[in-house]
Amino acid sequence: MDGRGARAMALSASGFTLRNVNMETIINIEGLTKTYAGGVVALKRVDLAVRKGEILALLGPNGAGKTTLINIVCGLVTPSSGAITVAGSDIARDYRAARSLIGLVPQELHTDAFEAVIASVRFSRGLFGKPRNDAFLEQLLKDLSLWDKRNAKIMELSGGMKRRVMIAKALSHEPDILFLDEPTAGVDVELRRDMWAMVRAMRARGVTIVLTTHYIEEAEEMADRVGVISNGEILVVDETAALMKKLGRRTLILTLTEPHEQAPAELAEWNLSLRGDGHELVYEFDANAESSGVPSLLRRMSDIGMGFKDLNTSQSSLEDIFVGLVNEAKAE
Amino acid sequence: MIKNIHGIAAIYRFEMARFRRTFWTSLIMPVITTSLYFIVFGSAIGSRMTEIGGVPYGAFIVPGLIMLSMLTESISNASFGIYMPKWAGTIYEILSAPISPLETVIAYVGAAATKSVIIGVIILLTANLFVDVTIAHPFLMALFLVTIAVTFCLFGFAIGIWAKSFEQLQAIPMLVVFPLTFLGGAFYALEMLPPFWRSVTLFNPLVYLISGFRWTFFGEGDVSIGVSIGATLLFLTICLTTIFWMFRTGYRLKT
Ligand SMILES: Nc1ncnc2c1ncn2[C@@H]1O[C@H](COP(=O)(O)OP(=O)(O)OP(=O)(O)O)[C@@H](O)[C@H]1O
Ligand SMILES: [Mg+2]
């Protein structure tokens, strides 16, 4: 199978299910559409199968429909059409079975300001139908560095601490599936590191994790698979490594010693562009191609005596990737 | 039908903890207002009113006084209980939990009704300090007290779901229920009104509840006890139906 064929395969829904035939699916979403009261179509016939035990990252820009998708599965938003099962239970008909498996950390911080941390976490556990288990909650709060704060009122905690409380509440009933809606928004480096450590530990225990993010790096670092979502549609779902390969367009930026009006004709085959008042030469290339064209470009530049003082490469932005994926989907 | 007992207990305990945080204000308030009513109505006015239907005026106003506080307290407690999580966003947890609408209502309304009954009993005890209160049908009185607390907590719960602002939340108890109770014979017998106003008053649904409650104290009311019980149950059914419709359609709870 050539590169294009493989890509087409991953992009088409049927190709995706074929590849999944031997994987146990824990959440199955079929033909999910959501039109909000105001007329906004947030999801358009979305199909998605989350595999048991995986970390799935939903990657997409603002307004893509990530939160809507999560909120529908968790019962906060009613779908306009479509069918969803969680471990075989329909989320509408068999909501008790479906929901008791799920823990949700929503995007926004919603906490009971006047409650003590421990009381709030105990409440969540009870709410999900589990008998009181203080030993378990003690360990949970310790794991999240909240034990010292257990008697503090939630309003006395910092934003990061509140987020930990939300996580503790979501985990208090020992769910098999954890939804993290933008877990790293407004979170400092340390908490972010803790959070990822916790997510990995959960995964090691067999918990399935679905998280959303705006950042490719984050998806790449954490997820087993990544689903790219834009404008209410899932453009592609694939193994992280395979996807990164596909998305692996990089940009080389050379800061020139002298500004140029336009790229010299000798370098035409590289399709270069200029920016920064002609001080920067920009070359976009495929990092996974057999030859990136970078060494030959640099050689040619030195041949024609074009000097540069600095050199930088960067991953293409999420925006570029979406544009690329959308165009590709249209072309097929 | 009821499966998530732990869930009901969790919400009930959460609500009771919320009441406990304002324990003193919520208990001292009815004591003070009851005392004020007795000083003004019981002593100042009552001394000139003597008796209504063989009952001393001071004792006559006790059932109405209990109703006045219980109705407003029931509505504001229950509406606040569900409005707060909606407003603060913490409702997400309730909506995502494996708990049925019935279980949710039992927990919230149960907690609010518990508080209302406690307040009703406190008013009764306070009143006893000022006048001798004899209760003709104690068992029926207790039943009425609980039923009315539950009914109005259901009503409050529906208002809490419906309300989009704190203003709306307070409007119904203050602008509708308080005046209707006041004009519903809380402090007078309907037969004291001119015939025209007596007929108008019969359109006030609270007349039937207050009259029924008074009947359990003195063995007589403005309307027959059967009508009172019927009206109470009718109102209870309306509230229950409304709430289940709200949950089923996700009315103002889900988008
Ligand atoms: N309650 C609502 N009523 C009407 N429209 C809504 C509502 N919630 C979301 N939307 C719209 O639905 C679309 C998808 O929103 P959603 O919150 O799911 O996006 P998202 O991918 O989570 O975005 P972000 O990254 O900003 O969190 C947006 O156009 C948004 O404006
Ligand atoms: Mg979102």
CATH number of A3-101+176-245: 3.40.50.300
Nearest to B90 by CA among A308, A285, A217, A165: A165
Q: Is A42 in the pocket of ligand 1 (CB under 6 A)?
A: yes
Interface of A with B in 91-110 (CB under 8 A): 95-100, 102, 104, 106, 108, 110
Overall average pLDDT of the A154-175 stretch: 93
- Between residues A152 and A264, the one the model is more confident about: A152
Ligand nearest to the CA of A34: 1
**Mean pLDDT score across all residues of chain A:** 86
- Between residues A289 and B5, the one the model is more confident about: B5
Position in ligand 1 atom list of the atom nearest CA A229:
21
| pLDDT band, residue A9 (cuts 50/70/90) | very low
Q: Is B30 helix (H, G, I), strand (E, B) or coil?
A: helix
What is the pLDDT at residue A316? 63
Q: Is residue B253 less than 8 Å (CB to CB) from chain A?
A: no
Which tokens go with A128? 């999900």
User: In Å, how far is A45's CA from the nearest CA of chain B?
Assistant: 18
Give A42 Cα–ligand 1 centroid separation in angstroms: 7
pTM listed for this prediction: 0.84
Give A317 Cα–ligand 2 centroid separation in angstroms: 19
Q: Is the pLDDT of residue A330 over 80?
A: no
Q: How far is CA A231 from the centre of its chain?
A: 15
Q: Is A290 helix (H, G, I), strand (E, B) or coil?
A: coil
Nearest CA to ligand 1 atom 8: A68
Q: Is the pLDDT of residue A18 over 60?
A: no
Show residues of chain B in contact with A119, CB under 8 Å. Answer: 14, 17
Nearest Cβ partner for A110 among B11, B88, B254: B88
Q: Is residue B25 less than 8 Å (CB to CB) from chain A?
A: no
**String of DSSP letters for A199-241:** HHHHHHTT-EEEEEES-HHHHHHH-SEEEEEETTEEEEEEEHH
- Asked if the domains at A3-101+176-245 and A249-315 fall in one CATH topology, the answer is no
Q: Is the pLDDT of residue A184 over 90?
A: no
Whether residue B96 and residue A129 make contact (CB cut-off 8 A), yes or no, is no
Domain ranges, ordered by start, for chain A? 3-101+176-245, 118-173, 249-315
In sequence order, the 6+-apart residues with CB closer than 8 A to the CB of A109 are A159, A162, A163, A166
Q: Is A65 in the pocket of ligand 1 (CB under 6 A)?
A: yes
Nearest to A177 by CA among A66, A97, A239: A97
What is the pLDDT at residue A5? 39
- Between residues A120 and A319, the one the model is more confident about: A120
What is the pLDDT at residue B181? 83
Q: Is A117 in the pocket of ligand 1 (CB under 6 A)?
A: no
Nearest Cβ partner for A110 among B7, B14, B89: B89
What would the pLDDT profile of A199-239 be if each residue is shown by its tens digit? 999 999 999 999 999 888 788 888 999 999 989 999 889 88
What would the pLDDT profile of B45-85 be if each residue is shown by its tens digit? 767 767 777 788 888 889 998 998 899 889 999 999 999 99
Q: Is residue A125 less than 8 Å (CB to CB) from chain B?
A: yes
Is the separation of the CB atoms in A162 and A111 below 8 Å?
Answer: yes
What is the pLDDT at residue A8? 38
Q: Is residue B94 less than 8 Å (CB to CB) from chain A?
A: yes
* H-assigned helices in chain B: 5-21, 23-37, 46-49, 57-88, 91-96, 101-130, 138-162, 166-171, 178-181, 195-201, 205-218, 225-249
In sequence order, the 6+-apart residues with CB closer than 8 A to the CB of A3 are none
Q: Is A231 in the pocket of ligand 1 (CB under 6 A)?
A: no
Nearest CA to ligand 1 atom 29: A63
Mutation choice for ligand 1 from A33, A35, A40, CB with most ligand atoms inside 8 A: A40
The CA distance from A267 to A304, in Å, is 9
Show residues of chain B in contact with A104, CB under 8 Å. Answer: 92, 96
Determine phi and psi for A34, rounding to 5 degrees. -135, 120
Q: Which of A76, A117, A162 is the best residue to mutate to test the B interface, defined by the most B CB atoms within 10 Å of its own CB?
A: A76
Is the separation of the CB atoms in B93 and B86 below 8 Å?
Answer: no
For residue A265, the 8-state DSSP code is: G
What is the pLDDT at residue B249? 83
What is the pLDDT at residue A332? 60
Domain ranges, ordered by start, for chain B? 5-249
What is the pLDDT at residue A232? 93
- What is the predicted ipTM? 0.89
Whether residue A102 and residue B21 make contact (CB cut-off 8 A), yes or no, is no
Q: Which of B2, B20, B96, B247 is the best residue to mutate to test the A interface, defined by the most A CB atoms within 10 Å of its own CB?
A: B96
Query: Dmax over Cα atoms in chain B, in whole Å?
Result: 60
Q: Is the pLDDT of residue A68 over 50?
A: yes
Show residues of chain B in contact with A97, CB under 8 Å. Answer: 98
Whether residue B6 and residue A131 make contact (CB cut-off 8 A), yes or no, is yes
Nearest to A10 by CA among A220, A234, A221, A219: A234
Whether residue B10 and residue A130 make contact (CB cut-off 8 A), yes or no, is no
What is the pLDDT at residue A248? 66
In sequence order, the 6+-apart residues with CB closer than 8 A to the CB of B86 are B160, B161, B252, B253
Which tokens go with B97? 């939990």
Determine phi and psi for A41, rounding to 5 degrees. -95, 105
Q: Order the strands of the A208-213 sheet from edge to edge.
A: A102-105, A177-180, A208-213, A55-59, A225-230, A233-239
Q: Is residue B13 less than 8 Å (CB to CB) from chain A?
A: yes
Is the separation of the CB atoms in A51 and A24 below 8 Å?
Answer: yes
CATH number of A249-315: 3.30.70
Tokens 């209410």 found at? A232
The Cβ-side half-sphere exposure at A201, using a 13 Å CA radius, reads: 10
Q: Is residue A305 less than 8 Å (CB to CB) from chain B?
A: no
Which run of H or E residues covers position A195? helix A189-204
pLDDT digits (tens), chain B, 255 positions = 889 999 999 999 999 999 988 878 878 888 898 888 888 876 777 677 677 777 888 888 899 989 988 998 899 999 999 999 999 999 999 999 999 999 999 999 999 999 999 999 999 999 888 888 889 999 999 999 999 999 999 999 999 999 999 999 888 888 888 888 888 888 888 878 888 888 888 888 889 999 999 999 998 888 889 999 999 999 999 999 999 899 888 788 887
User: In Å, how far is B15's CA from the nearest CA of chain A?
Assistant: 11
Which tokens go with B182? 């006041």
What is the pLDDT at residue A3? 40
